[in-house]
Amino acid sequence: MQNHSDNGSVKTTGWMSSTIGRKQLVGVTGLGLSGFVLTHMLGNMLILVGPQAYNQYAHALVTNPFIYIAEAGLIAMFLAHMFIALRLSWSNWNARDFKYAMRPSGAKRTTFTQRSLWAQGLLILAFTILHLITFKYGPNYTANYGGIEMRDLHKLVIEVFQEPVYVAWYIVALIVLGFHLSHGVGSSLQTLGIHHIRYQRHFKTVSIVYALIVTVGFLSQPIYVYFLRG
């Protein structure tokens, strides 16, 4: 929807009605989610330390009085990022007067990772739902440390990561997440105006390194349980 000024010029009604506004919101939510997956990965690395450290960390999270606010914020970011990104992809597709007989080359060339971002997002959504069903709402084992009873999430993780089908699915999903992050982090910074032609290569490198750290960190957990601990 647009408003017309007295002199006949057209102006947008708001930031969210513009393509750049939507892209910036996708960038902001993407960076927020990228920060979350990094902290989540680092916390989960406690599985390499032992059951008590892992369970006490998980217990501290779920008993935090702000946990519901944090979860609501994450859900809002996730849904906004996904739906707006899909809407932009759909709009770009429909805006083409014709489909390319040959893919553009040179500066206009897009990688397979860029072209498949929407598919990556849908797979990550499916993974997130299954991940929550498996762990957040899975069997509730208990453990006791210093007289404090808490959920034995470590036991559940060990059980799940000894199932070859789930481990294979987890590895595939995390590799897809890695590709998504390798493009998304740098793209988000560029959309928000944090870029310079001289340092563009460095931004891309940082994005790829960040994605590798997150992916390798997450993958080390099922690999440790299934191949080393199991």
- 159-210 pLDDT per residue, tens: 999 999 999 999 999 999 999 998 878 777 777 777 667 767 777 888 899 9
151 bridge partner residues? 142
Q: Are strands 148-151 and 2-4 parallel, antiparallel or unpaired?
A: unpaired
pLDDT at 1: 42
Residue 95 pLDDT: 62
- What pLDDT is recorded for position 210? 94
Burial (CB < 10 A; 0-12, 13-18, 19+), residue 185, is: buried
Residue 30's pLDDT is: 87
In 3D, which of 70, 86, 69, 11 has the Cα closest to residue 36?
A: 70
> Residue 2's pLDDT is what?
44
Separation between Cα atoms, residue 12 and residue 2, nearest integer Å: 5
**Tokens matching residue 140:** 């509730």
pLDDT digits (tens, 9 = 90+) for 23-32: 888 888 888 9
Domain regions of the chain by residue span: 14-91+115-229
**Residue 113: predicted pLDDT:** 73
Q: Which of 187, 177, 150 is nearest to 31 (CA)?
A: 187
Largest interatomic CA distance in the chain: 75
**How many CA within 13 A on the CB side of residue 65?**
0
Angle 36-126-206 from CA coordinates, rounded to 5°: 40
Question: Interior CA angle at 118 toward 169 and 2, to 5°?
Answer: 155
List Cβ neighbours of 30 (8 Å cut-off, separation of 6 or more). 81, 184, 185, 187, 188
Contacts of 113 (CB under 8 A, 6+ apart): 120, 179, 180, 182, 183
Which residue ranges in the chain fall short of pLDDT 50?
A: 1-13, 107
pTM of the prediction? 0.80
Helices (H), ranges, 9-102: 19-44, 51-62, 67-95
